[in-house]
Amino acid sequence: MKKDESKKVLVAMSGGVDSSVAAALLKSRGFDVMGVFMRFWKAPNAKTQGGWNRCCSIESENRARAVAQKLGIPFYTLNFSSEFKKRIVDYFLKEYKQGRTPNPCVVCNKEIKFGLLLEKALAFKADFIATGHYAKKQGNNLLKSKDRQKDQTYFLWQLSQKQLKRIMFPVGGYTKPQVRELARKFNLSTAKTKESQEVCFIETTTAEFLKKYLKQKPGNILNKKKEKVGEHQGLWFYTVGQRRGIGISGGPYFVLNKNMKTNTLVVTKDIKDLQRKELLAKNINWISDKAPKLPLKVLAKIRYGSEESSAVITRAKKPKTYKIIFTKPQTSIASGQSVVFYNKKELLGGGIII
């Protein structure tokens, strides 16, 4: 057994197939593995057993516990509900209320999964934490996973070197079908567990969730000519580029802009109006912890589901603000979302779109 294989690893187990296989792989390689299930938020009127949201339901915990028992590893449950509410849910609501489109998964990774959990891991005297994220490490660098369709590096751009040196991504070298096949070989009960697609703490839709916590503030919907074409029920229920659910006839319409001062929603019928070649970003983080020389040519993504596009990063006039200039126009750039930078397979860092 190699020296590193005797080290202790705390594995975040969600009750899904990816984290289950992550724990099984590490156990098979001789690591001293512990499983931990994180409870995030007990929301009012949650429909799951025990009242916890589906991201941390009793059902999910039971699946994770069953896998830990199958693997013969210790299993613990950590309650992060108070911290999760303050750092993730409150941030989510605040961003929408101010007219931006937040990315809670990015913040959760930094604050909870690789923040609070890492602190707990050190208290457990663990050498590493591991998750089921589709990402790869190579030395001090963070790389895309083998499965490009499932790659989750977009959500990891806020990580630091201090965090990265303590993190393991066991499934990053596999495709999703390979992970499910491994689950079957390990005889894990989560082999056929379905994936969650929505934001983990939202039971229904984002719009329904926002209606529970943000008061409706009706206003006018205007076209580009500033003509009234309808009424909205609150600007925070819409995001730039949105097509469905606007609630006006004669379309299709796309959300072009939100004016928080006048409480007006601006829409367009021409999708070309949503295209821009430049954006400004703040709160830039570099995975290497060292800012590169600018201007810098990169591949950049403006949302998780978008394609990467060639771009150049330069400094903007405003302090601590950067300008990203794309070779090709990008559609539906939304403030509050993350713009993430790559050099081929390597994740360089990212920032928040202004």
Q: Among all residues, which ones are annotated catalytic?
A: 108, 200
> What Cα–Cα distance (Å) separates residue 72 from each residue in 62, 182, 192, 314, 344?
15, 17, 21, 52, 40
Instruction: Give 49's contacts (C-beta < 8 A, 6+ positions apart).
Output: 57, 58, 59
Q: Which of 309, 289, 307, 287 is nearest to 298 (CA)?
A: 309
* Cα–Cα dist 286/23, whole Å: 29
Which residues in 210-243 are b (16+ Cβ under 10 Å) and which e? Answer: bbeebeeeebbbbbeeeeebbebebbbbbbbbbe
Token pair 């069953």 is found at: 66
Q: Which of 299, 300, 339 is nearest to 321 (CA)?
A: 339
* Cα–Cα dist 282/313, whole Å: 12
Token pair 């559609």 is found at: 331
> By three-state DSSP, how is residue 103 classified?
coil
Exposed/middle/buried for 351, CB within 10 Å: 0-12, 13-18, 19+? Answer: buried
Sign of CA dihedral 177, 164, 126, 114: negative
Q: Which amino acid would we find at residue 118? A: L
> By three-state DSSP, how is residue 247 classified?
coil
DSSP letter for each residue of 181-194: HHHHHTT-TTTTPP
The pair of three-digit structure tokens given for residue 138, joined into one six-digit string: 């190579």
Instruction: Give 185's contacts (C-beta < 8 A, 6+ positions apart).
Output: none
